[in-house]
Amino acid sequence: MHRIEAYTTLALIFIVIISILYLPILLILKKKGKSIIRQLSFIGLICSIFLIVFATILFVPITFQPEQYILNLTPFNWIGNTEGFQQVLVEKVPNIMLFIPLGCFIPIVFASKRRLDQTALISFAVTFSVEFFQFFIGRSSDIDDVITNLLGAVIGYGFFKVFHALWQQKKWWNQFLGNA
């Protein structure tokens, strides 16, 4: 659970920093008639992407000449392992949680990507790119990471659909989506 706490702390710190840095832009856009609520969705997407990059690539030292390349293309090979449950808590749950915001913010920010298949395709491209890059910098590349990251994005998309169903008649929600 230490990774989850570290990622959550980093996310909160990053959100505060980005919000402070974005404040002048926000005020300028407000004067031009742009919705502050809409701008918050862009901040959320930027924070989600940064957190993914930080947690998966920048959190550990990068080397372009690793001693070994680790590639796992066998899905769920940890099942039945004596450390399987601990591995789920330490590795798989954080991977899922890491991509939930991305799956939620993609359809909020991009009106043309409000279908599950479109959000899943973008999320797959992001997670595949991360895993591909990790292979060459001395980190492990694992098909389970792709699966769990994609699952997190789908869960995030599910949150978007629930929010949309609950709030589609609300003015603030339509401003958030850029519909108003």
Give the predicted TM-score (pTM) of the model: 0.81
What the block records as the tokens of 57 is 């690539």
Mean pLDDT over each residue of the chain, to the nearest integer: 83
Reference 164, options 151, 174, 153, 175; nearest CA is 174
5-51 pLDDT, tens per residue?
776 777 778 778 877 887 787 778 777 766 777 778 888 898 889 88
